[in-house]
Amino acid sequence: MNKSHAMLPFIAGLDAFTSFLKTEFSEENIEFWTACEDYKKNRASHQLLPKAKTIYETFIRKDAPKEVNLDFHTKEVTAQNITHPTLDSFDAAQAKIYRLMEQDSYPRFLRSDMYLDLIKGRQHSGHPALRRRSCSFTFSEFQDVQSDFTIWL
């Protein structure tokens, strides 16, 4: 099985979870987490600062268009981290959002019709399971992501 076929279950699960978060008006959490994963793939140091600023301005700063729910301390640490960004500049913030989804949204998703339809191989009320989502950050095929995705499946 080639790599793109191996990613299909992950993409279907991620898309279903994203659709579920949209129904709860909290899709910014998965968008932020995914943006952080994409950010960590940077290999050119000159790309870190502009990408870090974009993520910060979109998700972390006060009144950001897709502001995620982070405590003051984590926001401050992240703001300091991006003055001289490294690949782990968003790790603390990303971990907090991951835990928030893991403890709050994900258990509800597992009980939802969307999830039950996904595991039964059906599409949920007009939302194709493999539909690509549209959001501020578009990422191709989620290849080479090194995090534990089993939570999303």
The CATH number given to 7-133 is 1.10.167.10
What is the per-residue pLDDT across 102-142, written as a single tens digit (0 to 9) for each? 999 999 999 999 898 888 876 544 444 443 333 433 333 33
Q: What is the pLDDT of residues 24-41, one digit of tens each?
A: 999 999 999 999 999 999
124, β-bridge pairs: 127
Closest CA to 82 of 74, 73, 90: 90
From CA 9, how far away is CA 130, in angstroms rounded? 9
Q: CA-to-CA distance for 52 and 50, rounded, in angstroms?
A: 6
| Stronger pLDDT, 107 or 7, i.e. the higher one | 107
The full length of the chain comes to 153
Q: Indicate the SS3 state at residue 107.
A: helix
Tokens representing 7? 């990613």
Which residue ranges make up each domain of the chain?
7-133
Nearest to 143 by CA among 46, 33, 37, 14: 37
Q: Is residue 17 packed enough to be buried (19+ CB in 10 Å), middle (13-18) or exposed (0-12)?
A: buried
